[in-house]
A = this chain, B = another copy of it.
Amino acid sequence: MESVKVFAPATVANVSCGFDVLGFCLDHVGDEIIVHKSPQPGVRITKIEGQKLPLATKENVAGVAAEALLEKYRTDVGFEIEIYKGIKAGSGIGSSAASSAGAVFGINALLGEPFSRDQLIEFAMKGEELASGAAHADNVSPALLGGFTLVRCGKTPDVISLPSPEDLYATIIHPKIELRTADARSVLKKTILLEKGIQQWGNLAALVSALYTNDYDLISRSLVDVVIEPERSVLIPHFNEMKKAALSAGALGSGISGSGPSIFTFSKGHATAEKVQQALIETFSPLGIEFDIFVSKINPKGVQIIS
């Protein structure tokens, strides 16, 4: 195999009460990454379409992730990477993670899979480090493993795959406003009330249980973030109206995707997820802010070779 084309999906991190630990993988929306073997050692980004991003290997998340892999797996083979961005940077659905995950997955495939998907997380995290200053696994884990993933804290990530109920769908709306990650961070307080912490971990534990038991009602009751959402949602215009509209249309619950501005909602069944989409379109259209919106099944597979 001399080249490979990979679909690298968008992902949602910071899933409500699972702030900083729970993420899930989306379908259809993502980047396409083509990796070619090259006789010239090293990694080169040869093409980027869909977004203005740096071609210099060390300034590009995919390049940095790829180099991290090749530091562990020495080879004379080189790699050229083409990136076709389907995810907008700054949208809050794992744009950098998709490119990083796609690049290392493609190279690993061309090398005959010396690493497992789990092992690739560490390399893709290097891309995240470039993008945000912190080598977090919140988005690269679901991008590589698919489904829901839980990242237990620690510098060496302890990533646990959780099951996804068959009928669980996400509706994602991306209001096209600029939300600086620095602002999203600065609104967070360093301390929280113990009482709120207890509510949060009770809700997250219940949510994890609900994923194992396909308990949609429990997903709905437990998808409550009492710690981060009250602080961050003020940065997203009309957040509460959107939430209300989604719930009225039958959504199980909603939350901020990543650090925003995208918002995810969960629904049981595709039809309800589309109703929620319609309700969000009706709520958002009159506001004069551009937006993207789509419905996605929880993608159980993660990054995949498409040709």
Chain A interface residues toward B at CB < 8 A: 17-22, 150-153, 158, 160, 162, 188-195, 197-209, 212, 218, 221-222, 227
Contacts and interface: CB of A to CB of B under 8 A. Distances in A.
B19 A198 contact: yes
Contact of A194 (B188, B198, B208): B188
Nearest to A151: B202
Contacts of A189: 194
5 contacts: A160-B218, A191-B193, A192-B194, A197-B197, A205-B208
Contacts of A188: 194
Contacts of A202: 20-21, 150-153
Contacts of A151: 202
A176 B200 CA distance: 34
A209 B208 contact: yes
Most buried by B among A151, A160, A162, A189: A160
Contacts of A203: 152-153
Contacts of A17: 201
A194 B190 contact: yes
A162 B210 CA distance: 10
Nearest to A207: B205
A208 B212 CA distance: 10
B191 A221 contact: no
A264 B200 CA distance: 24
A296 to B, nearest CB: 23
A121 B125 CA distance: 46
A206 to B, nearest CB: 5
B221 A158 contact: yes
A203 B158 CA distance: 10
A298 to B, nearest CB: 16
Contact of A191 (B150, B191, B204): B191
A201 B150 CA distance: 10
B192 A150 contact: no
B200 A162 contact: no
A188 B193 CA distance: 11
A209 B195 CA distance: 23
A208 B18 CA distance: 13
Given A152-B222, A190-B195, A192-B193, 10 more contacts: A19-B201, A21-B198, A21-B202, A150-B205, A152-B202, A152-B221, A190-B193, A191-B191, A191-B194, A201-B205
Contacts of A153: 198-199, 202-203
Contacts of A190: 193-195
A221 B205 CA distance: 16
B20 A150 contact: no
Contacts of A207: 205
